[in-house]
Amino acid sequence: MNEALLRSLTPSVLGILVRRGADFAAAEDAVQDALVEAVRAWPADPPQDPKGWLITVAWRRFLDATRADAARRRREDLVDEEPAPGPVLEVDDTLQLYFLCAHPSLTPSSAVALTLRAVGGLTTRQIAQAYLVPEATMAQRISRAKRTVSGVRFDQPGDVATVLRVLYLVFNEGYSGDVDLAAEAIRLTRQLAAAIDHPEVAGLLALMLLHHARRASRTASDGSLVPLAQQDRGRWDTVSIAEGVEILQAALARDRLGEFQAQAAIAALHADAPVAEETDWVQIVEWYDELARLTDSPVVRLNRAVAVGEADGPRAGLAALAALDASLPRHTAVAAYLHERDGDLPTAARLYAEAARKAANLAERDHLTRQAARLNTRLSR
């Protein structure tokens, strides 16, 4: 098998599918399927025209996927048109379904997508909008996840750690969209905490409550993001904060620290500060050190760099940031913030604009664009 030949042909085959009318994401999936088929078939029966073979197979796969997508959407429309069922015995099997969907053989992102579709009741279109990808791409992602777990017996559900991860990701998805997924994730985590006596389950519930308590203050009346330091803390839900802190303290007392407990401890320190200037950043850095030890996550180290910048000054934060991969999500935005704190406004303005171009969602892009414009206005005076 000539892998170099396949690599050289891929761009032109992809371009031909796009010119024939396929959207780029669907064309990419079809070409990938064709390449997999080539790896399987060519060693025994090499084609005389490799490029023509790839174009033919990729186009067929694209048409098959398009037909399947159309059929799926018709089925979803029919389901939407079905009359409501009659009264039945109320039994909530949602948490059990999460265990079935959150199988360890799936990546967390695939498990979340499958769970949102199979359990959350969202259409493929809604999930695609949440992930900012084409609907056909999300449909294929969900189909692949279904195929992955198709051989899994229903008495072999995923483990608790995977379910916790999926619940956390579903909670994070809940801050946008048409369905209040955050509240649903909290409800299910409460059920899990009642059923399983584990400090990490309690830690996740505490983390959700502490984050959710700030939800009303996270956006301004025009929909723009409000950074934590600028949020109106009078709008924070003190009842949820008190409950979250109580649950966290009980979990930490068991001396079995996990990543969700550490994240909740950081959230609790933010919630404990009456004003942003009184935040205990030194202790937050210590908790990020614990979290980095538990997870070895570059994203955790990125957040730690922000905390170091607050605790020890922006140059210390920039030094911590310099040790991280610049391709990390939000790396450029963090660099912009720390450079602004250090007084280097031209560099900060340039980095804010660059971060806006890399932003994963419209709200974040709008916020970073505003930050760049704010500094550019100051510099032009």
Structure tokens at 260: 């969700």
Helices (H) and strands (E) in the chain, counts: 18, 0
Answer whether residue 305 shows pLDDT above 80: yes
Q: What is the 3-state secondary structure (H, E, C) of 250-278?
A: HHHCCCCCCHHHHHHHHHHHHHHCCCHHH
- The CA distance from 315 to 308, in Å, is 9
The more confident residue out of 151 and 260 is: 260
- Say if residues 262 and 287 touch (Cβ distance below 8 Å): yes
As a dihedral over the C-alpha atoms of residue 24, residue 30, residue 35, residue 37, rounded to 10 degrees, the angle is 180
Q: 225 has which bridge partners?
A: 219
pLDDT digits (tens, 9 = 90+) for 243-268: 999 999 999 999 999 999 999 999 99
Answer whether residue 83 shows pLDDT above 50: no
Domain boundaries, the chain: 1-83, 92-196, 205-216+234-273, 280-328, 335-381
Query: In this prediction, what percent of the chain has a pLDDT beyond 70?
Result: 87
* Residue 76: pLDDT band with limits 50, 70, 90: low
Query: What's the length of the chain?
Result: 381
Which amino acid, residue 296?
A: D
Lowest mean pLDDT among 103-107, 273-277, 349-353: 103-107
90 phi/psi in degrees, rounded to 5? -80, 110
Taking CA atoms, 260 is separated from 94, 99, 267, in Å, by 22, 19, 10
Answer whether residue 91 shows pLDDT above 50: no
- Tokens 């777990």 correspond to 149
DSSP assignments along 174-233, one per residue: TTSSSS-HHHHHHHHHHHHHHH---HHHHHHHHHHHHHHTTGGGSB-TTS-B--GGGS-G
Average pLDDT over every residue of 196-202? 94
Average pLDDT for the chain: 84
